[in-house]
Structures are given as structure tokens and as C-alpha cells.
Amino acid sequence: MEIQLQALIDQIKKDGVEAAVTEAESVLKAAKDEAEKIISDAKAQAEKFLADAKNENERMVKSSEDAIRQAGRNLLISFRESVTKEANAIVSENVAAVYSSEAFAQLVIKAVEGWSSKPDAEDIAVILNSDDLKNLEETLVAGLKEKITNGVTFKANDNFDGGFRIAVNNGGAYYDYSAEAVVDMLSNYLSPKVTALLKEAE
């Protein structure tokens, strides 16, 4: 009876130890699995954070580069506009200087002589503003005396400030040499050349 009791106690101890070992192994495995999951989640989170940070950094770098490029383009456009404006101002000043000098009358005379030599140009009229016609009429009449007898006339028109216009064939066609038209023509001629020079300097 004593032997059976001892065997029972030993069996209980053995079963208890085995159960405890099994439980301990189960707890350790669960703890290990949980630890691996935590590490895996933390690693995934860290990789996501790094990827997000890299993407944000690349976005900010690209945005900064785009902003710098745009600022450069804006500066170049502003500079070109400034140079073009200055060139137009110089052209305008020079045209105004020629049109207000003694050379203006000779310019009109040469233009009329050129047009009157064309066989299909008839009834040539020189149109100036009232002030210029008053100041230059005597010089123009003297310079175009022969042409005037062949039908060249002078007319006043205050719709433009300076320069002159030539009408041919009884007003059928007009050729505009007004200050504004000449400035526009010269500016349009210069603009591509100025742009080309600026591109060479880039």
C-alpha cells in the first residue's frame, strides 16, 4: 500500500512537472512568437517611415528644383522684357529726334521722289500733322517743286503725332511712315535679334 502511494505521488509529480514544462514551453513559444511579431511590425513600421521620409525628401527636392527653375525663367523673362523695353525706348527717341530735325524734310522729299518714280503710282498725297505741315511746307514745296506740278499734294491730318503718310492713286493705298508705325516696325525688327543675343548669353 505504501509502495502504491509512493508510485502515485511519483506519477503526480511526473505529470505535474511534464504539465509545467509543457505550459512553460507553450508560454515561451507564445512569448517568442509575440516578440517576433513585435519586431516584424516594428521593422515594417521603420521601413515605411524611412520610405515615407525618402519620398517626402525627394518631393521637397523636386519642388525646390522646380521653384528654382521657375524663378530662373521668370528672371530671364523679366530681363528680356526690360531689355526689349529699353531698346524700344531708344528706337522711339531716335525716330523722334530724326522726325523733329531738319533731316525730316529731306526724308519726306526722298520718299516722295521714290514713290513718284513708280509708273503705277498716281495722285500722290503727303499727309502730315498740322504743325509739321506748317513748319515744313515751304521746304517741301521748294524740294518737290517739279513733283508738285505733276500732281503731288500736301494734306494735314492730326490723327498722328509725328512722321508722315503717303497716299497714292487718289487714296487707294496708304503707306504709313508715322513715328508710331516706324517705331513698331523697327522694334519688331530688333526684337528677334535681341532675343537671339540674350539666348547666346545664357
Query: Whole-angstrom distance between the N-terminal and C-terminal Cα of the chain?
Result: 111
Q: Which amino acid is at 85?
A: K
Which residues lie below 8 Å from residue 150, measured CB to CB, with a gap of 6+? Answer: 116
- Written as one letter, the residue type at 156 is A
> With contact defined as beta carbons under 8 Å apart, do 96 and 162 qualify?
yes
Share of the chain above pLDDT 90, in %: 0
- Looking at residue 149, its amino acid is T
pLDDT score at 145: 75
Report residue 5 as a C-alpha cell: 502511494
Please state the domain extents for the chain: 102-201
Distance between CA atoms of residues 96 and 92, nearest Å: 6
pLDDT band at 9 (very low <50, low <70, confident <90, very high): low
Are 165 and 178 in contact by the 8 Å Cβ rule? The answer is yes
Residue 201 has pLDDT above 70, yes or no: no
Angle in degrees, CA 196, 199, 201, rounded to 5:
115
Using the CB atoms, write b or e for 73-106: b if 16+ within 10 Å.
eeeeeeeeeeebeebbeebbeebbeebeeeebbe
15 pLDDT exceeds 70? no
Distance of CA 99 to the CA centre of its chain: 35
Q: Which fold has domain 102-201?
A: hypothetical protein PF0899 fold (3.30.2320)
